[in-house]
Amino acid sequence: MDSFRAFRIDEKDGSIVAGFQELTLDDLTEGNVVVRVTHSTINYEDALAATGKGRILRRYPLNGGIDFAGVVVSSEDTDFQPGAEVLMNGCGLSETFDGGYSEYARVDSNGLVPLPEGISRADAMRIGTAGYTAALAIHRMEQNGQAPELGPILVNGATGGVGSMAIDMLAGRGYEVVAVTGKAEEEAYLKAIGARRILPRDEIDFGKRPLEKGEWAGAIDSLGGDHLVWLTRTMNYGGNIASIGLAAGHELNTTVMPFILRAVCLLGINSVDTPKDLRRAVWRRIGGDLRPQHLDTIGHRTVSFEELPDMFQAFIDGTVTGRIVVEISGE
């Protein structure tokens, strides 16, 4: 190809400048596989990067987009032949390497994942980093003994991408899921994707004691701060908390008592730097026992590449429910 279109993010005079540009392969960061990108998606991190509301990129300029799915065009890795359908999420995309908001991507094959059987490229991006993070959290919790018969799992940030995917996947595995949300109007949506019970965020009593009444067998927490502290206080014995975000704060002002008296386990979930074998194993589970059952409900909207810049503010404002797919260059 002579040139192709990309949504590129740059820094000029201390301000973020982002928009479409025509590029060639020589403009892209180094890699041993070239992929024709057909689909991407939008995450909160993508919106922070594109609007300059957060310092996500570690170098400039870079193409945005921390996810993509597409078809291999050329490869120096025999594991990925031309024509193979692949996806990639995290792995430094749109942080240190050019991301998926581009009609072509050149990447290191260590981060590539074969498209799971039975999942289309569009559905892979409905799942995307959000679904992968949720699946990684569940995978880690189950490695640490989590099981449906132990009791309810609490999911906060429930209407967001990770929360929605976690509810769907957990319910599909037979867990009783309690969804925490500040959006009362989304109760029907949350129950439709598998939540058994809704806990309004403004009704939570955070308490003050190091240990409160145990209520949860586990939790997937995207908020951090006081919400995570409350979870440590209200876990049942041996409960697992998968920490995947810090939307409400990065500080953790708690005591060791939940950990030494109730054997509570706090599991850190890093979906960006997951080793290759674990990343591929989790994606295989996403194509198998963790396959989402309500993708049409969660990923109900598809936008064109041209519409992408108009979508970021809604993520910053917190008005998006579920997932949005971006068609980059079609099938």
Q: What is the per-residue pLDDT for 101? A: 98
Q: What is the per-residue pLDDT for 184? A: 87
Residue 37, CA distances (Å) to 87, 261, 327 in order: 9, 50, 9
Average pLDDT of the chain?
A: 96
In sequence order, the 6+-apart residues with CB closer than 8 A to the CB of 80 are: 33, 72, 86, 109, 112, 114
CATH number of the domain located at residue range(s) 130-268 in this protein? 3.40.50.720
Give the E-state strand segments of the chain in sequence order: 4-12, 15-23, 33-41, 62-63, 67-75, 85-89, 104-107, 113-114, 153-155, 177-181, 197-200, 216-221, 235-243, 265-268, 301-304, 324-327
The yes-or-no answer to whether 4-115+300-327 and 130-268 have a common fold is no
Q: What is the per-residue pLDDT for 226? A: 94
Are the CB atoms for 43 and 128 separated by under 8 Å? yes
| Segments making up each domain of the chain, as ranges | 4-115+300-327, 130-268
Q: What is the per-residue pLDDT for 260? A: 97
Are the CB atoms for 72 and 84 separated by under 8 Å? yes
Q: Which fold has domain 4-115+300-327?
A: Quinone Oxidoreductase; Chain A, domain 1 (3.90.180)
pLDDT less than 50: residues of the chain? none
Number of residues written out for the chain: 331
Count the Cβ atoms, other than its own, within 10 Å of residue 81: 10
Q: What is the per-residue pLDDT for 331? A: 67
